[in-house]
Amino acid sequence: MHELSLCQSIIQLTERVANSYDASKVIGVTVELGTAVAIEEDTFRFCFDAIASDTIADGSRLTIDWVSLKLQCQTCETVYFPRSPVIPEPCPRCGSFDTRCLAGREFSVKHIEVEDTRKETGQRA
Ligand SMILES: [Zn+2]
């Protein structure tokens, strides 16, 4: 399943980042997702929660920043947003299918929110 493997890479990256900051717990993860990646949001959230349990990111809040598919016609250079992220749509001006993708294929972890353990230690000392 597409969503499952994407969530696995998100959690792996999250764990690596959290460890490098000596964080004991991840409380929030923000991912940037292009609509052309064709993720089903409910499935994605379900997979995220399932994989995050028993990791440092257990119970963390998942935020998805959607990026709309944006194409540029290679013939007349018109920039447009297709109605569907998956069904090919020709240039509204000249009808060409020769397009370049400017945005909408993003898949990245934008932000990871952790509990700052070092700060807690500092307050106690
Ligand atoms: Zn065109």
Domains of the chain: 2-116 (3.30.2320.80)
Q: Give ion ligand 1 contacts, CB < 5 A.
A: 73, 75-76, 78, 91, 93-94, 96
Residue 90 to residues 74, 80, 86, 104, 105: CA-CA distances in angstroms?
Answer: 11, 10, 12, 16, 18
| pLDDT value at 125 more than 70 | no
Q: Given strand 70-73, what is the order of strands in its sheet?
A: 79-80, 70-73, 99-103
CA of 118 to the centre of ligand 1 (A): 55
CA of 78 to the centre of ligand 1 (A): 5
Residue 82 to residues 22, 69, 77, 95, 96: CA-CA distances in angstroms?
Answer: 43, 7, 15, 13, 13
CA of 77 to the centre of ligand 1 (A): 6
pLDDT at position 118 is 56
Residues written for the chain: 125
CA of 105 to the centre of ligand 1 (A): 21
pLDDT at position 117 is 62
Per-residue confidence band for 1, with pLDDT thresholds at 50, 70 and 90: low
How confident is the model over 59-115, as pLDDT tens digits?
A: 999 999 999 999 999 999 999 999 988 888 999 999 999 999 999 999 999 999 998
> For residue 66, what is the DSSP state?
E
How confident is the model over 18-65, as pLDDT tens digits?
A: 999 889 899 999 999 999 998 999 999 999 999 999 999 999 999 999
Longest dimension (CA), the chain: 69
